[in-house]
């Protein structure tokens, strides 16, 4: 039994520092790197790519809406055409910088509102899948289990990864409870490990109404932008491994001399 462990990183911007990327990288296997639209800048992207390369962590693009002040968390009614182009732009930008650090992209995970909209809206989901396929057919496309994004990726011939969230509460419909809701982010490490193990081994999680949700989980997301993120991630990986779960990326970075 194995699982990929991913986190959103590279979300600093200029003088604005966010996250504990270097520390988080020690425990995850896939790094979703912001590409400059909702967070990140070319220098941050390089540094993050370098850290990932050094840690042997797989690097993926984490494209978002061009909404820096809203951190890409606000829905923007962009057309499918616009979404396809902005996603491709961001993938290409990151790929170029990562390549200069000897790192090849392994996956794509849409960010924030774009991720959530594409879970429900097939047109947007298809647009993202087209952008990914156009860039590199071997990239793994991350998405919410059962989402339109997973369907679109599959239809486009891409390898897809259904994503569970280790430290987020689930609404009864399988979507994430909004960040503004109390208890939507779980901070207790033991509970995070317990929920994660159940997701990985049984494909189940308890929703906010107490119901049991069942879905496949190929990769687990743990947040990386708060004070305790690095420690939580370390405990999560240790907890998974202690229970016999192998933590590994879909396409790990090759060893580098």
Which one, 36 or 60, has the nearer CB to a second copy? 36
- To a second copy, the closest distance from the beta carbon of 166 in angstroms equals 21
- To a second copy, the closest distance from the beta carbon of 43 in angstroms equals 5
Q: Is 44 helix (H, G, I), strand (E, B) or coil?
A: helix
- To a second copy, the closest distance from the beta carbon of 54 in angstroms equals 18
| DSSP for 106-139, written as a single string | EEE---HHHHHHHHH-HHHHHHHHHHHHHH-TTP
CA-CA-CA-CA torsion sign (161, 164, 167, 172) = positive
- To a second copy, the closest distance from the beta carbon of 85 in angstroms equals 3
Which one, 18 or 160, has the nearer CB to a second copy? 18
Residues written for the chain? 257
Quote the tokens at residue 164: 């569970």
Which one, 68 or 186, has the nearer CB to a second copy? 68
Which one, 3 or 33, has the nearer CB to a second copy? 33
Report how far apart, in Å, the C-alpha atoms of 214 and of each of 39, 48, 163, 198, 200 are.
33, 34, 12, 10, 11
Contact assessment for residue 250 and residue 57, using Cβ atoms and an 8 Å cutoff = no
- To a second copy, the closest distance from the beta carbon of 136 in angstroms equals 9
Which one, 138 or 204, has the nearer CB to a second copy? 138
Contact assessment for residue 107 and residue 250, using Cβ atoms and an 8 Å cutoff = yes
Which residues contact a second copy by CB under 8 A? 13-16, 18, 36, 39, 41-43, 45-46, 66-71, 73-78, 81-82, 85-86, 88-97, 99-100, 113, 131, 134-135
- To a second copy, the closest distance from the beta carbon of 88 in angstroms equals 5
Cα–Cα distance between 175 and 256 in angstroms, integer?
39
| Neighbouring-strand partners of residue 168 | 185
Which one, 229 or 236, has the nearer CB to a second copy? 229
Which one, 17 or 26, has the nearer CB to a second copy? 17
- To a second copy, the closest distance from the beta carbon of 151 in angstroms equals 22
Widest Cα–Cα separation across the chain: 51
Strands 212-214 and 204-206: antiparallel
């Amino acid at each position: 039994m194995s699982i990929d462990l991913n986190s959103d990183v590279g979300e600093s911007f200029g003088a604005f520092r966010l996250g504990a990327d270097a520390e988080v990288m020690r425990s995850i296997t896939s790094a979703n790197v912001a590409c400059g639209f909702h967070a990140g800048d070319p220098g941050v992207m390089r540094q993050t790519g370098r850290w990932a390369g050094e840690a042997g962590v797989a690097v993926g693009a984490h494209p978002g809406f061009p909404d820096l002040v809203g951190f890409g968390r606000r829905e923007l009614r962009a057309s499918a055409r616009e979404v396809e182009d902005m996603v491709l732009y961001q993938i290409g930008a990151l790929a170029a910088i990562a390549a200069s650090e000897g790192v090849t992209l392994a996956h794509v995970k849409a960010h924030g509102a774009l991720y959530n909209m594409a879970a429900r809206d097939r047109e947007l989901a298809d647009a993202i899948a087209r952008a990914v396929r156009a860039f590199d057919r071997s990239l793994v496309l991350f998405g919410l289990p059962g989402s339109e994004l997973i369907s679109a990726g599959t239809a486009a011939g891409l390898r897809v990864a259904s994503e569970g969230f280790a430290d987020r509460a689930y609404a009864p419909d399988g979507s994430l409870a909004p960040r503004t809701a109390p208890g939507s982010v779980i901070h207790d490490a033991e509970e995070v490990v317990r929920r994660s193990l159940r997701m990985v081994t049984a494909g189940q999680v308890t929703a906010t109404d107490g119901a049991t949700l069942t879905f496949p989980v190929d990769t687990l997301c743990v947040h990386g932008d708060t004070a305790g993120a690095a420690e939580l991630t370390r405990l999560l990986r240790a907890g998974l491994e202690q229970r016999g779960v192998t933590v590994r990326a879909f396409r790990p970075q090759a060893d580098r001399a």
